[in-house]
A and B are shown apart, each in its own frame.
Chain A
Amino acid sequence: MIKLNKTYKIETAVKLFTYWAGAFTFIILLGKVSFFYYLISLTLFLFSLFLEYKKIYLNRTFINISAFFFIILKLTSLDLETLIISFLEILLFLLSLKFLENKKFRDYMQIYLLSVIIFAGSTLIFFDITFLVYLFLFIIILNASIVFLTYYSQDPEISLPEQILIKIFLKTGLIPLLAIPFTALFFIILPRTDSPFFGFLNKSIKAKSGFSENVKLGDVSEIQEEDLIVFRVKMMKINEDLLYWRGIVLDSFDGKTWFSSIKKNEEKIELKGTPILQTIYLEAYGDKYLFGLDKPYKINYNSPFQNINKKDLTFYLSSDITSRIKYEVLSFLTSSIYESKINKDKYLQLPQNLSERIKNLAKSLKGTTKEETIKNTLRFLKYGEYKYSLINLPLSSNALEDFLFKYKYGNCEYFASSMAILLRINHIPSRLVAGYKGGIYNEVGKYYLIRQKDAHVWVEAYIENKGWIRYDPTPLLAIQAYKKPKFSKIGLLFETINYYYINFVLNYDLKKQLSVVKSISTPFKVFNLKIILNNKTIFLYSSIFILSIIMGSFFILSFLKKLKIRKEERLIKEFLRILENKGYKKNPAEGLEEFASKIKEENLKLKVFNFVKIFEEIYYKNIPLTEKVSKKLKTLIKEIKNQKI
């Protein structure tokens, strides 16, 4: 018995996959765009399914005009803050409109283009791993529908058995699968464009200025200044002396290296001072610490994968930051952290082989009170004979001693280490805080720019009843002389553009931001509106609006008309091109019938005449080209093309 296979028209397959692709764009944007637009678009989409089932199609002109008006309407209420969302809404609406039409080859292509753009756009607001799954399925479906569409464009009437269709689908499905390894490669490369490709493979041997987890002394003799940007902070301009960006607290010193030994500290710390909110755009700088203006109290970071850990008012992620991120920090501008109870032993720990010279020096700095001791030590280091330097640093196993007694110059690490150790000898609990200091304020963008060379280490000393107090023993003037901003005007301009770009891409949490912005700007907006309405400008604006609509529709109509004429011309061009391939070239001065009568092959001649007669009637009688006639002419062209001579 022969099993009869069901055959399907290729158009059905194209439609099926196209609708699937459309459905995926709806799935991906579910809950991402405003409910109102989503509902309208979805209704239209479902309605188009129904129309497709009933074989009813809407007039193209009507659809185009409504799309035009929708876009105008949407553009008038466009908010820069919700740019991506608004564009996605527009695209989704256009896509659902597109589905309502009687779809031709180009309409299918437009649908695919729109859905691809929506997918691309949604990457800016979709941060879930499920996106990858959607993307994968979408690519498979899109690929299949384009393949079927290619068949369809060759001959819309093709019918294929079900098995063949499935075979085509499965085999062409391999194309995107093969592309995955390459895509994966790009996936690795692209987010790192700010740093050189594969730069992580060969770490520079020369030490560069910058933040690090540990503070090591005596390992390098020279530190290179690095202009690489670490983070940008959107906030108001404040006094430069207060610009300490807290990164990590280092509590233990083994004579050479400072490191952090404290486990997670859950104790609640209270801060008093001016609260200040910052939005920080942190580059993938290669470590896991999140910086904040001293003292950061709370960090707000919407990370899907990582938790924020907190200790000693420093924040860090569970793994290194590999792409640019954005977070908000609430800091309190104060120089002290009040803690009633601390582990004194930890903060008084000294390296075992500490030399007597240092101990003697510490004793000489001891005052009657702890505050006085701190003051003496600070004065000794900061305003004494010690100088700031990044070159010819003490290169020894006993770097601290060499710095204090021999070289008398060094970078901030030496100053801070010295102060902490000197204080610890005098029984004052102290620790190092590493982070950044200073930054360039961009007046245009209203943000601070912090570079690797701004890396800094300072000291916190504990005084009973007062808590941890920040001291910076590094000579101030020296640092300023070293770290003069080196930004030209053009450099600054580019930097500002870069900032806005980063801002635009990373600003995914728009809803939240928008509400904040709105609440701030509402009084201004109302005020502005009043000014406008008070004048007679309302008449002017409305007349401009109406005029532009009228002109726009005229423009569209004439454009559509032109499009129709061009359609005829496209047909005749195609017709002449095919005949030229067959060896019959039309003289420009020849009429079509005259040309057709020259054809020798009877079969071909008949078909050519057939075409010419229909075409002439439309062309020389100025009859609008209907879909039906157009289709007929196209079939004739195809027949002529396939006619063997």
Chain B
Amino acid sequence: MDPKLDIDNLIDFLSYYLHGKGRALKLCIIALLAEGHLLIEDLPGVGKTTLAIAIARCFGLNFARIQATSDLLPSDITGISIYNKNTGEFEFHPGPIFNNIVLVDEINRTTPKTQSALLEAMGEKQVTIEGKTYKLPQPFFVIATQNPIEIYGTFPLPEAQLDRFIMKISIGYPPRSAEKEILKGGSKREELHNIKPFLSKEEIISIQKQVKEVYISDKITEYILDIVEATRKNKYLYAGLSTRGALAIVNTAKANAYLNKRDFVIPEDIKDLAEYVITHRVIFKEEYEGTKEEIIKSLLENIKTPV
């Protein structure tokens, strides 16, 4: 197959702006191609916004940023109808959500009411305001971030809503060499706004379609079901993967296969992403909260691949 998106080339190019964030960038693109949404759980100041801008820019997409606070209202996100004196009618002013890429910063700071409004929009890909339904633009991709350290005064997302994010990742500190570069050259965020798009919006949509057509054999489906079953039976977990979770595995695996220039899924596509797809969807017993990734990894290590 001949994929339109050469991920290695793209990452190479962007690494100039995003020092040492290749992995996060790739995961981000996978989430985009799988038509899901991404949750980044990380400390402030590691480059979440830069990442979101980079994605938006290189695919020629609109970008908006919402800083979530406790007084943020749903209408601040979705938009509001304002009375126009000249026409004498209410005029709809679309909110920031009517963009292709929406960065919701510190989503856990806002109230559950606003959170659910946002998440509903993410799920339905449309918003209903005052009885009128507005379609969200295509592609629609939400990158939400949350701060894992500051718990006080936040509203942690309930598991049911976490499930709506196809993956949860963390960027992590950049490596020393990358950080040195940043310190020497300063932030390159401004320059990002001027880069030329790699692909057009239409091309992204057609790639998303192609990703859906990636072949997944029965053997792989069985393998995924094995994983799902293992999470449900695991002694460290209260609750295993939902069916939506299993679907998320399939979709991300397909996107991963596509990025690896394959039109069929292999077990590695799944294993690669398992910790990002599974961890936030299962409920750990309290005593094991601290070792989530380890548990998921060891779980995967005990499931036989088809060959």
* Residues of chain A whose beta carbon lies under 8 Å from any beta carbon of chain B: 572, 587-594, 616-617, 619-622
Contact = CB atoms under 8 A, between A and B. Distances in A.
Nearest to B260: A593
Contact of B266 (A588, A589, A592, A622): A592
A592 B302 contact: no
A616 B263 CA distance: 11
Interface of B: 215, 217-220, 263-268, 271, 300-307
Given A589-B302, A589-B305, A590-B305, A620 B219 contact: yes
Contacts of B219: 619-620
Contact of A591 (B217, B218, B271): B271
Nearest to A572: B307
19 contacts: A589-B301, A589-B302, A589-B303, A589-B304, A590-B305, A591-B267, A591-B268, A591-B305, A592-B266, A592-B267, A592-B307, A594-B267, A594-B271, A619-B219, A620-B215, A620-B220, A621-B215, A621-B217, A621-B264
Contacts of A622: 217-218
Nearest to B304: A588
Contacts of A592: 266-268, 305, 307
A590 B305 CA distance: 6
B279 to A, nearest CB: 18
Contacts of B307: 572, 592, 619
A591 B268 CA distance: 6
A323 B202 CA distance: 92
Interface centre among A572, A617, A621 (most CB of B within 10 A): A621
Nearest to A618: B264
Contact of A593 (B218, B220, B266): B266
Contact of B300 (A589, A616, A617, A621): A589
A335 B197 CA distance: 122
B301 A587 contact: yes
The 8 A-B pairs of least Cβ separation, nearest first, read A591-B268, A591-B267, A621-B264, A588-B304, A620-B264, A589-B301, A620-B217, A593-B268
Interface centre among A587, A591, A617, A622 (most CB of B within 10 A): A591
B229 to A, nearest CB: 15
A610 to B, nearest CB: 15
Nearest to B265: A620
Nearest to A594: B268
Given A594-B268, A620-B265, 9 more contacts: A588-B304, A591-B271, A592-B268, A593-B266, A616-B266, A619-B217, A620-B215, A620-B266, A620-B306
B266 A591 contact: yes
A39 to B, nearest CB: 49
Given A589-B303, A622-B217, A617 B268 contact: no
Contacts of A619: 217, 219, 306-307
A589 B301 CA distance: 5
Contacts of A587: 301
A617 B261 CA distance: 12
Nearest to A613: B262
Given A591-B271, A594-B271, A622-B217, A617 B304 contact: no
Nearest to A573: B307
Contacts of B218: 622
Nearest to A592: B307
Nearest to B271: A591
Contacts of B266: 591-593, 616, 620
Interface centre among B268, B301, B303 (most CB of A within 10 A): B268
Nearest to B305: A591
Contacts of B304: 588-589
A591 B271 CA distance: 8
